[in-house]
Structure 1
């Protein structure tokens, strides 16, 4: 056996878990490009919607916070009210990796196969690592959703918002962005700033845009702390409960859990990019996309106007799908088909034990893929602390039991029990 634990993914969840395992002396390997999603799929100049305090990665002592990193580098920072750029967040994650996870191997995993207790982790360089446990912390990069109406357009005329980190080539072009969430609004903003004529097309009746923080007196702060308490997911009791009680969430009836996961903290844009779009980008509401075809060197989009009850068309040079992600275990590219078929799912996501273990013994999932089991907390970086502490404790205890001398009548340890 090469390692007791193999971690796949080097974003906030994978790095936080690795830092905790290292502190406990657990034998592990971790693979991936540090903060790769943030480098490859998020424009560096983009100001993130999350507040600064909610963008921490987590070492066991919670010492190397984003606040400390920004202080060391001379970057502006406040816990609340100073938007953090994706570039700074990625730099912070890379600094965290160098400090707490020097073992990281910057190699992609091409396949995971095997059985409980003996997984084969195949790497892009041809190497194979044997692991007793595998933790999938690969984020959302494999799950962009492209509407059916856009799937037949030429690849050079349509993009997902995951694909765009530079927009200069769209200067002077007419570009439609389909969607109403933060990725759609962010892309429309960046297109406008790059000199494109952007249009935001949403099937919803409104595009929700956050308001910039305002100074309030102490009495209002006190009242707000009770009526709308702050959490790593934002303000309000529902978000606070999602942060504080993920174990209680996991015990809720399946249908109720899935409904909360889908509905809570739905599409909404941050105030920095939202203000630009509100002032400078046409927002076309109640527009349900029906078709998209190339015609006379342009793309003709056809929408059903659900309010007016008619059909509207828009001719553009390029289309961005700001339609988010649809997580589906089947779409995880590096999992062997036999493993995928053995994973019990709920609404296409793995159904997990309280220790993040799937129905395949020794195969764990953390991050957004775990949201159906633990709630909205796991969709955000703030959930990395809960996942890292819980899973580290579980793995460390299990490995200690396995490695300790056992009598003939020692009580057996069972994995994967829900």
Structure 2
């Protein structure tokens, strides 16, 4: 027997759980698959803090009482919408509690295959079970899209790895570890490597490492708010527009959108990391990778300079590439190749309707995969409320 459902949601991160919570509230016929908050539980260093403010770190449910603030208040945990950094462990516990309350029927099995089946889809699970769905929502986590420099292709993971593969850093105690990058992941890793007893080094092409401004402890003045209005992505008119009017982004010429998404909010880290970073991490700026090779005792790194200085050669026991994530439809291996080829794409990401539906009827995409269609907000958790409300309305209508 092959089971059937109106909607299958693939992924149980903030976007997948938020959609599922709204579908559950609407008493829709749906199934949701995946380990809850798997990326947050397995691909981020233990002990780190979220880059996003507390008010921008919520999962979305239509009922009251579902925010991070509500969770912290109920448990007497420290919380402030902007001035108190959110510990990763607190956020994970909040997300798991959200799942138990609002998505009680989560199926933690993995979807291994999605193929077209007439007007719908056939899904295979990791234990061999199959089901049919009229609609499929792909809310895959960012770990599908980990981006590594081509220069490290072919090097073993024991020597070179992506930042998403590291949860516990104690194994690097006493080793020289070089982090490539200058964003929040890179700085977080560099700090926590030092705390784990590693000799931590960070290499970046940028001339400096940027940090957000510390909170002032009071309400910003009118002129400051007019100059740089607040938003779920941080201060600034571009961020505010991204959050308040994501549909307007769809009017931007298609050839500009991928670069706008890529450049919006360049590398920057939370203010509270500045002191431990500057006091415990060796920093090499204005250098880019020229060559990376395996040697008997680790990795040899040759760094080029944009200003004509001679190359710099370094030795390291391990290199971690904190080089971010780039959405790529072809990286979603659970989608049948024939199905992927039917999806109209722009910059390797699906072109989506205003309801997040791709050119394949009934196939929807959320999160990073939707950023080129709806703007930078889709790169962040703050976009889950808008996306969940918009897509749920269409899923329920189409399934009726």
Common topology (TM > 0.5): yes
The residue number in structure 2 matching 1:145 is 147
Shift of the alpha carbon at 1:62?
A: 4.3
Aligned to 2:233: 233
1 CA distance for matches of 2:306 and 2:258? 27
Contact 1:5–1:29 (8 Å) recurs in 2: yes
1:113 equivalent to 2:115? Answer: yes
Displacement of 1:276 in angstroms is: 1.6
Asked if the contact 1:139/1:369 (under 8 Å) is kept, the reply is no
User: What residue is the counterpart of 2:8 in the other structure?
Assistant: 6
2: CA distance, partners of 1:81 / 1:315: 39
Deviation beyond 6 Å, 4+ runs, structure 1: none
Cα distance per residue 1:8-53 (max 9 Å; x no partner): 0011111111111111121100000011110010123101111001
Counterpart residue number, 1:37: 39
Q: Distance in 2 between matches of 1:116 and 1:230?
A: 47
Partner of 2:371: 371
Tell me, yes or no, if the aligned pair for 2:134 and 2:399 is still in contact at 8 Å: no
Looking at structure 2, the residues matched to 248 and 274 of structure 1 have their Cα atoms a distance apart, in angstroms, of 35
- Which residue of 1 is the match for residue 358 of structure 2? 358
**What secondary structure, in the 3-state scheme, does the structure 1 residue paired with 2:212 have?**
coil
- Show the 5 A alignment for 1:383-402: 383-400=383-400
> Are 2:22 and 1:17 equivalent residues in the alignment?
no
Q: Quick one: which of 185, 191, 194 aligns to 1:192? A: 194
Q: Structure 1 CA distance, aligned partners of 2:344 and 2:64? A: 34
Q: Partner residue of 1:94?
A: 96
Q: After superposition, where does 1:2-401 map in structure 2 within 5 Å?
A: 2-115=4-117, 117-216=119-218, 220-400=220-400
Q: Deviations over 1:307-357 (max 9, x none)?
A: 343111001111100111121100012100001111111000000000100
Instruction: Find the aligned partners of 1:245 and 1:23 in 2 and give their Cα distance.
Output: 26
Partner deviation per Cα, 1:115-152 (whole Å, 9 max, x = no partner): 46320111111111100000000121111111122223
Contact 1:10–1:137 under 8 Å retained in 2:
yes
Give the distance between the partners of 1:325 and 1:388, measured in 2 at CA.
22
Q: Which 5+ residue runs of structure 1 have no aligned equivalent?
A: 401-418
Cα distance in structure 1, aligned partners of 2:46 and 2:69 = 19
Which stretch of structure 1 is more off in the superposition, 188-197 or 198-207?
198-207
Structure 2 length-normalised TM: 0.96
- Secondary structure of the residue that 1:234 maps to in structure 2? coil
Query: Please, which runs of 5 or more residues in structure 2 have no aligned partner?
Result: none
Distance change >3 Å, CA 19–CA 116, structure 1 → 2: farther
Residue aligned with 1:70, SS: helix
In structure 2, relative to structure 1, the CA distance for the partners of 1:274 and 1:344 (3 Å cut) is farther
Alpha carbons 2:293, 2:299 under 8 Å: kept: yes
Q: 1:272 and 1:215 mapped to 2: Cα distance? A: 14
Q: Name the Cα RMSD after superposition.
A: 1.4
Q: Is the 8 A contact 1:177 1:199 kept in 2?
A: yes
Deviation at 1:266, TM superposition (A): 1.9
> Secondary structure of 2:320's match?
strand
Give, in whole Å, the separation in 2 of the partners of 1:42 and 1:283.
21
C-alpha deviation, 1:187, in angstroms: 0.6
Q: In the aligned structure 2, how far is the partner of 1:114 from the partner of 1:296?
A: 49
Displacement of 1:73 in angstroms is 2.0
**CA drift at 1:211:** 2.4
Please, what TM-score do these two structures have when normalized by structure 1?
0.92
Give the secondary structure class of the aligned counterpart of 1:238: helix
Contact 1:189 1:274 (C-alpha < 8 Å) held by counterparts: no
How far apart, in 1, do the equivalents of 2:55 and 2:286 lie? 36
